[in-house]
């Protein structure tokens, strides 16, 4: 059995997609959802899938207690699905090439500190980009700089607002993220 653990901070639509996708596949399980946000949408979704949720503080993330909990699930992959805090070096060191993130733009463009969620799409829209897309990459010590695993572009010329760009990009995330995770676990 391949164990997937998720880190999410917000609405949790990617977390939901991943739990739905692997809920229907033999040989894979989402073993835990880790979140910094007691109000994260992903907590209720995890409950429906009988996946335990672990809520933690910034201190617990950096003092080794989250690492200890992560280890207790023996993850084969650690997936950041809309996780908005910097990921700690101790977990990255313990799981080299096993921590992956999804970013809602074509990195290295529109990455770095502060570039998350709608901020990214606002910047893309203001610059009147003709395309945006998604990047799935390994996580290293710097925001959005790890090696790219997968990218997919999408035309956004017809989008009239950052929200419209966000919706198009999110749909692309939902389509590809679970499949890329599955490929990496094969
Ligand atoms: C997603 O668009 C994801 O790419 C982005 O947050 C959103 C979370 O949506 N992540 C980042 O911006 C990371 N820098 P969700 O909670 O509905 O899955």
| Interior/surface letters 147-163, b for 16+ CB within 10 angstroms, e for the rest | eebbeeeeebeebeebe
Task: Tell whether ligand 1 has an atom less than 6 A from the beta carbon of residue 29.
Answer: no
Task: Tell whether ligand 1 has an atom less than 6 A from the beta carbon of residue 81.
Answer: yes
Query: 83-110, pLDDT tens digit by residue?
Result: 999 999 999 999 999 999 999 999 999 9
User: How many A from CA of 162 to the centre of ligand 1?
Assistant: 14
Question: What are the two backbone dihedrals, phi and then psi, of residue 95, each rounded to the nearest 5 degrees?
Answer: -125, 65
For residue 82, what are the contacts with CB-CB under 8 A and spacing of at least 6? 8, 9, 10, 11, 12, 13, 14, 15, 102, 117
Helices (H) and strands (E) in the chain, counts: 7, 7
Q: Please give the Cα distance from 35 to 52 (Å, whole number).
A: 11
Q: Are 86 and 141 in contact (CB under 8 A)?
A: no
What pTM does this model have? 0.97
**Which residues are marked as active site?**
103
186: its two tokens: 């094969």
Q: What are the extents of the domains in the chain?
A: 1-96, 102-175
Residue 50's pLDDT is 96
Query: 47-97, pLDDT tens digit by residue?
Result: 999 999 999 999 999 999 999 999 999 999 999 999 999 999 999 999 999
166: its two tokens: 């966000």
Residue 58's pLDDT is 97
Q: CATH code for 1-96?
A: 3.40.50.170
Residue 34's pLDDT is 98
Q: CATH code for 102-175?
A: 3.40.50.170
Residue 144's pLDDT is 86
DSSP conformation letters of 61-81: HHSSHHHHHHHHT--SEEEES
Please choose, from the candidates 6, 14, 141, 26, the residue with its C-alpha nearest in 3D space to the C-alpha of residue 75.
6
Q: Is 45 exposed, middle or buried (0-12, 13-18, 19+ CB in 10 A)?
A: buried
Q: Please give the Cα distance from 84 to 63 (Å, whole number).
A: 18
Do the first three CATH levels of 1-96 and 102-175 match, i.e. the same topology? yes
Residue to probe by mutation, ligand 1, list 82, 149, 178, most atoms within 8 Å of CB: 82
Please choose, from the candidates 89, 24, 97, 30, the residue with its C-alpha nearest in 3D space to the C-alpha of residue 62.
89
Question: Residue 142: pLDDT above 90?
Answer: no
29: its two tokens: 């399980």
- Residue 41 alpha carbon, nearest atom of ligand 1: 16
């Amino acid at each position: 059995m391949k164990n997937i653990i998720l880190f999410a901070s917000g609405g949790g639509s990617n977390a939901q997609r991943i739990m739905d996708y692997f809920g229907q596949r033999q040989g894979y399980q989402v073993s835990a959802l880790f979140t910094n946000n007691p109000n994260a949408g992903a907590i209720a979704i995890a409950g429906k899938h009988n996946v335990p949720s672990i809520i933690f503080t910034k201190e617990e993330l950096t003092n080794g207690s989250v690492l200890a909990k992560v280890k207790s699930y023996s993850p084969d992959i650690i997936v950041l699905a809309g996780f908005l805090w910097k990921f700690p070096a101790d977990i990255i060191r313990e799981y080299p090439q096993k921590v992956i993130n999804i970013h809602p733009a074509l990195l290295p463009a529109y990455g770095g500190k502060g570039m998350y969620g709608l901020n990214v799409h606002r910047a893309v829209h203001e610059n009147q980009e003709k395309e945006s897309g998604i990047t799935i990459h390994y996580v290293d010590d710097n925001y959005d700089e790890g090696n790219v695993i997968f990218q997919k572009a999408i035309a956004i010329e017809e989008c009239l607002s950052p929200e419209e760009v966000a919706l198009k990009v999110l749909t692309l995330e939902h389509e590809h993220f679970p499949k890329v995770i599955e490929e990496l676990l094969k």
